[in-house]
Amino acid sequence: MKLTRYLLSFVAALLAATAQAESPDSDPFAVDAKYSEPPSNPNHLEPLPAYDPDGYDQAVFRSLIGDDPGELWMIGKPSFCPEYAVIIRHEVVYAKSDDPFDRRIESEKWIVERAEAKKQIWQWKELEEGRSVLDIKVTKDVVRSRAEITKEFASQMFSAWQSVLQRTRYPDEDYRGLDGATFQFYCHYNLFGEVWTPQTGLPRMLTDLGFQLAEVATATDEDRPGAIAKSVEIANKISTENQKQ
């Protein structure tokens, strides 16, 4: 996300923010969420920017993901509403031992987590004489939902993430706009990529998979098997699409 674009288009941002405010029940995690039509729609992710001059990316990461990056994650950064993320974590407890090289696992579990900031992490701070400055800071005011999943399911999700991230490359043209969302993805080891408001292809499919994982994290015990099945279905479609490339 390029904050300078928001600075240059402040009036447009205010209009879009007003429109967003008129729909308070909109769910950013909905699989069928509508996106603004971009000028083009690449069928790949692009590298994350090498620099974060405003500190915004770091503030979002530290607020939503925290110290443990997990096995994979998707961060959503909408233009005019709070940032959110979905993470799969592998939580391991090692057996107590006097031997520092003893790495016997006592217990482990796999977790899918949804995190959403209560307020947008980048905001305007009003100064004297009608002036404003960007106010970016790490926040702990985050709503989290977690659910335990199987290792096999986590592995399927990881394969989907990895297969798309391995295709990351620079786009042929600038396809970004203003009223949309930037999605960033990670899976170990050190595979990163991002895309703006994907409409079709692998980027859209991976984004939909992230939304569906958020459904797994928040579903009731009764509804969770169905949400898991839908996630597996999307992951399989990603695998099929990758084989066509």
pLDDT of residue 34: 53
pLDDT value at residue 127: 79
Q: Average pLDDT, whole number, for the chain?
A: 85
pLDDT at 26: 53
Q: Which residues of 126-165 are buried (b: 16+ CB within 10 A; e: fewer)?
A: eeeeeeeeeebeebeebeeeebebeeebbebbbebbebbb
pLDDT value of position 130: 77
Residue type, 160: A
**Beta-strand runs (E) in the chain:** 72-78, 84-94, 105-117, 122-126, 132-136, 142-149, 181-187, 191-196
Model pLDDT for residues 20-72, shown as the tens digit of each residue: 443 445 565 565 555 444 445 788 999 998 888 889 999 999 999 999 999 99
Q: pTM here? A: 0.80
pLDDT at residue 68 in the model:
92
pLDDT of residue 18: 41
List, run by run, the mean pLDDT of 10-residue segments along the chain (245 residues): 40 40 50 51 88 91 95 95 97 88 89 97 81 88 98 97 95 76 94 94 97 98 98 97 85
Separation of first and last alpha carbons in the chain? 28
CA dihedral 8, 14, 15, 20 (to 10 degrees): 120
Residue 4's pLDDT is: 41
How far apart are alpha carbons 187 and 66 in whole angstroms?
15
Side chain identity, residue 88? I
Amino acid 241: pLDDT: 93
